[in-house]
Amino acid sequence: MANRNSRLINEQELIRLLRLREKKGYTLLYDNYSAALYGVIRKIVRSEELAQDVMQDAFVKIWRSFDSFDDAKGSLFTWILNVARNTAIDRIRSQSYKQTMNAQPLSSSSPGMEMSSATHQAVDHIGLDTVLPLLRPEHREIIDYLYFKGFTQTEVAENLGMPLGTVKTRVRMAIDHLRKILK
């Protein structure tokens, strides 16, 4: 997805261009981050066509709501990743998505069963392939439900048949472990 003529840019310079609503800033943002965002979106929505649509929606949201970005609260990448992730989760929770998924014939294979190599590379690009396996299996499972599938903690507890307090504790422990790994 990255343009071969694109260049890496200092994050502060990119933020400056985006705040000025410079088209160049938006182009650089897309060229430098689209592969990573697409990988996360694709893992959540599990459909190539839908992932492309969500990707477009996410970049429109990023552009329109950039004034709400606060670099004192976190990095640009973290912010755009959350916008993309939330856009994907909103889409899979929408009624139209549920109706579309229910209308698929039983003979079709599950859209989430295979991950393309491009998606795998994009997910690896942001470090998920190297960090998630370091978590305990029960923590990794909960992070998968919460982060990639868009479940609430209550829904995770119901799905896994465990008390909500246990889910909350495991989430806290997983986040603490991820913080240690990423430092």
pLDDT digits (tens, 9 = 90+) for 61-103: 999 999 899 888 888 988 999 899 999 988 888 755 556 555 5
Q: Give the mean model confidence (pLDDT) for residues 19-30.
A: 90
The answer to whether the beta carbons of residues 35 and 122 sit under 8 Å apart is yes
Is residue 45 a part of any domain in this protein?
yes
Question: Is the same domain home to 89 and 166?
Answer: no
Q: What is the pLDDT of residue 57?
A: 93
Is residue 105 a part of any domain in this protein?
no
Count of domains for the chain: 2
- Give residue 176's domain range: 127-183
Helices (H), the chain: 11-19, 23-45, 48-64, 76-93, 95-102, 117-125, 128-131, 137-143, 153-160, 164-182
Looking at residue 180, its amino acid is: K
Question: Is the same domain home to 14 and 71?
Answer: yes
Question: Is the same domain home to 152 and 92?
Answer: no
Q: Give the mean model confidence (pLDDT) for residues 138-162.
A: 83
Q: Write the pLDDT tens digit of every residue in 40-49.
A: 898 888 888 8
Is residue 72 a part of any domain in this protein?
yes
Between CA 105 and CA 172 the distance in angstroms is 40
Is residue 109 a part of any domain in this protein?
no
Is residue 111 a part of any domain in this protein?
no
